[in-house]
Structures are given as C-alpha cells and as structure tokens.
Structure 1
C-alpha cells in the first residue's frame, strides 16, 4: 500500500503542465464552503448513524492528481490506528455522473488497495449528486473543451449523523490530526470549518494554459513531505522486521 502511494506521489511531481479552458471567473466559483449546519442527506447511504466518516469527492478519470490525493487520504486513515469499517467509514463520491461501476472500481482498486473493502462508493445520479454538493457547499466546474472537472481538493469529516465536523485540505493530512478529528466527530463534535478551499484539483491558469506556479509549489512541497513521512515509516518497519529476524 505504502509503495503504491509513494509511486503516486512521485507521479504527481512528474505530471506535465496542461492546457485549460475555464475562465478565471469560473475557477473562482469553485470551492468548499460548508455552512455551520451542513449535513449529508441520510438517504444517500454515505453515513450509517453509528460511525464517523470521511467523505471525499473525486473524478475517477483524473490519474494525475485525484489518484495520488485519494491514496494519500487512505494512507492518512491507515496511520490513525483506528480500525477501518469498525471505527470509521470512507465515502468516495465521483463527481462525473457519466462514470460507471467499472471506472469506479478501477479507480478505487488503484488508490485504496485493501482499504477498498472498508469504503463505500455509490454511483449517484445527477439529482442526488446535486443534492449532496449543495448540502456540503461543494462547487465545481466542468471544462467541456478538456473533458476535465475543476473541483476543490478537500476531505470532509462527518459525524455519524452526517453533520460536517471538520474540513481538511485533501493533500496530506497528518494521521494524528485525522485521528483526532474522527474521534471528535464520533462524539458529535463540530469543529471550526474553513470558509473556502481555494486549491482545486484542476489547478490551471487559463491565461497561460499551464498549472499556476502556486499550485505547482504547493503540490511539490506536499508530495515531498508525504514521501518523506511515509518513506521514513517504511524504513522503520523494514528495520524492525530485520531486527526481529536477527533476534
């Protein structure tokens, strides 16, 4: 799992700049702005009333950024020490209603690995997706010219009843912070919410047709931090295994 995540993080660093077709005004409307009373509609099956949940919006056809980002979130959850499926659930929601079960399963299999069994990823209709995104203040834009979505990079931590407890940038979340947020959400605590997440998965500058310098720097720094953290964890696990073998 760690090896796959590290590979995806390095792939993110190597991603080539791409052209963009959305205007600055369209990109400015993209954001994650959950209200103080934001709650997930109960009939969508994303929460179960007994466990806190982490909800992530993603584009199943975005290997350059969405793949490594979801993998990083899964790795952060794995590092909490909490039991997936028992202590929390992971809800992954695709924002492209054109995607089918095959696209979803291929994406989740490549990003979650064994954690896929603890994840719930329903294929929502356009109407249900609209209800969910409106309830959570999640806005995105579709670039028809490039067939790509601009959407916030974010993960929502939900109480068992579906209320938004915390909102994390969906890059690298420290496992200790993630654990604390899940424990608090499990108690029904609602923490401070970011007013808006400006960093988007799309992350392009329409004027130059390239990733903006700020986006490139943020993604590079976060990916390096992530690689260093989990690379260190992998080295420590290998050292402990060798030590046990030599005992």
Structure 2
C-alpha cells in the first residue's frame, strides 16, 4: 500500500510538474525554430511510420567494414536508431550528443537493455568515417572502446539503394544541399532519434536534439514490450501517453485521475477496515 502511494505521488506530482514545464518550454522553442526554418527544410521532414517494418534484408557495412543484412543488428533488444551522415559537423553531432547524454541518464546499458544503430544517409561515407564517428560517440556515452558494450553500438554505411529503403521505412526525408564550397556534399534533414522493436519495427520518434531521459527510457520499455524496466516504470507508462504529433510523452490527466480515485477507494477501505476491528480487550471478553 505504501509503495503504491509512493509511486502514485511520483506519478502525479513529479510527472505533472516536470513534464508540463519542460514541454511548454520545448514547444515554444520548436515553434520559434519552425518559423525561422529555411524553405528547403520543408522537404526534409519526418513521417512517423509507426509499426512499419524496417528493410532487414538490405545490407550495410559496420565500422569494421563487415557487410551484413540490417536484420543482423536486431533480435534480442530494442534499438536506438539515428540517421545522420558522418562527415557532418553541424546538426548530426548535436543529435548524437543528445542521444548519448539522454541514454547515460536512463539507467539502461547498451547490450543489456538496448542496442544502438547509427546509419549514414551519405553513400560516400566509408567504414573509416564510421569508425571515427563511433569513437566520438563512445566518448560522449562514457563507454570505452574495449568495453563489451561497444559491440552493441553499430555505425553503418551502405549503398544508395539500402539507404533509400531505410529512409523510406523510417519516414526520414532528407535532401542534398550545397556546402560552403558550392558542392552538393551536405544534407538537410530533421533532428530526431528513433526507437525500433527487437524484430525491426518502428516504435517511437523523439524530436529535437535534447531528449528527455524519461522519454527515452519509456520508449525503450514500450519497444521491448515491457520486458525491461521496473514496476515504477509500468505505472509511469500508464500515467503517460506517447503523442506522435509531438514526438514525446505527455501526462494523461484522465489516467492520473483514475489512479487518484483508485487510491482514494483503497485508502477509504483501509480506514473502514481498521475502524471496524475490535480492540484485543473487547475480543477477549
């Protein structure tokens, strides 16, 4: 009973206050960014293809140059997925920094509760580029390259056909744009990280470059069909709804009110039960 009340208090007050304040600020920031976005970014958005299967038969090379089907990187754990390009020095590093920062605070660990797949959208990227990008990511994540967990973090490159299939399956739209030298060697794309189920279906999309650790944790738990996480996480999932249009979790007021009513009934029942019990002296007589 005390555990339920403690979890309920966390759900009601902790989530209600923290999420409302953070999401209000995030929505304001995203709204300002959308108003100032260049025209060409309108063609570089995201379609949330929830439950859509990924092209697991398409082949990609990992950072060591080993060419494998995409399905090789799935099977046991949900996957954190990001589409970037490794020569990028602008938005992509910010997406990967935000992913690493949030994952460090989830309490989960690569190889135990999830895998990481970062795929390049640039067919000219090489395994050497992927190796450098992975080393930088491991430093941000705080995982040494010699740690067994690093084997669950995959930086992939592939041919244009495989990239096209993966981008289409994830709903990730991007376009080539000219770089400072005038060459079409840069890409305009959205900043988003995605979560896929162990069998390779799209589960969640989290927008922006700063991802709330609680959102990431809940998304991984849902993608795993709640095979990971704690009882408290289960209550938090009940208290929150994933909102595809916002790419984040929001508090479900109706569900919290339902928990409040349940808690009130349990508390009232407990009080009635205790008041109805006779003292030991009266039972003896």
- Give the TM-score band, short-chain normalised: 0.5 to 0.7
Match of 2:214 in 1: 176
Q: Distance in 2 between matches of 1:138 and 1:195?
A: 16
1:27 deviates by 2.5
Q: Distance in 1 between matches of 2:46 and 2:144?
A: 26
Structure 1 residues 133-142 or 56-65, which shifts more?
Answer: 56-65
1:161-217 Cα distance to aligned partner (Å, 9 max, x none): 122111001411111211111011100799542389xxxxxxxxxxxxxxxxxxxxx
Matched-pair contact (CA < 8 Å) for 1:47–1:162: no
Two-structure CA RMSD over aligned residues (Å): 2.7
What's the TM-score once normalised by structure 2's chain length? 0.56
Matched-pair contact (CA < 8 Å) for 1:47–1:161: no
Q: Distance in 1 between matches of 2:144 and 2:244?
A: 27
Residue 46 to residue 29, structure 1, CA distance change in 2 (3 Å): farther
1:200-241 Cα distance to aligned partner (Å, 9 max, x none): xxxxxxxxxxxxxxxxxxxxxxxxxxxxxxxxxxxxxxxxxx
Residue 61 to residue 176, structure 1, CA distance change in 2 (3 Å): same
Name the structure with the higher helix share.
2
Q: Distance in 2 between matches of 1:89 and 1:56?
A: 12
Q: Distance in 2 between matches of 1:195 and 1:181?
A: 14
Q: Which has the larger radius of gyration?
A: 2
Q: Distance in 1 between matches of 2:45 and 2:216?
A: 21
1:32-71 Cα distance to aligned partner (Å, 9 max, x none): 1033442212222364222111100112112233213202
Residue 77 to residue 65, structure 1, CA distance change in 2 (3 Å): same
Structure 1 residues 116-125 or 56-65, which shifts more?
Answer: 116-125
Q: How many pairs align?
A: 175
Choose the corresponding residue for 1:89, options 82, 102, 115: 115
Matched-pair contact (CA < 8 Å) for 2:50–2:203: no
Report which structure shows greater RCO (CA 8 Å, sep ≥6): 1
Q: Distance in 2 between matches of 1:70 and 1:27?
A: 20
Matched-pair contact (CA < 8 Å) for 2:95–2:209: yes
Q: Distance in 2 between matches of 1:153 and 1:109?
A: 21
Matched-pair contact (CA < 8 Å) for 2:77–2:114: yes
Match of 2:168 in 1: 134
Gaps of 5+ in 2: 1-37, 58-69, 227-236, 248-285
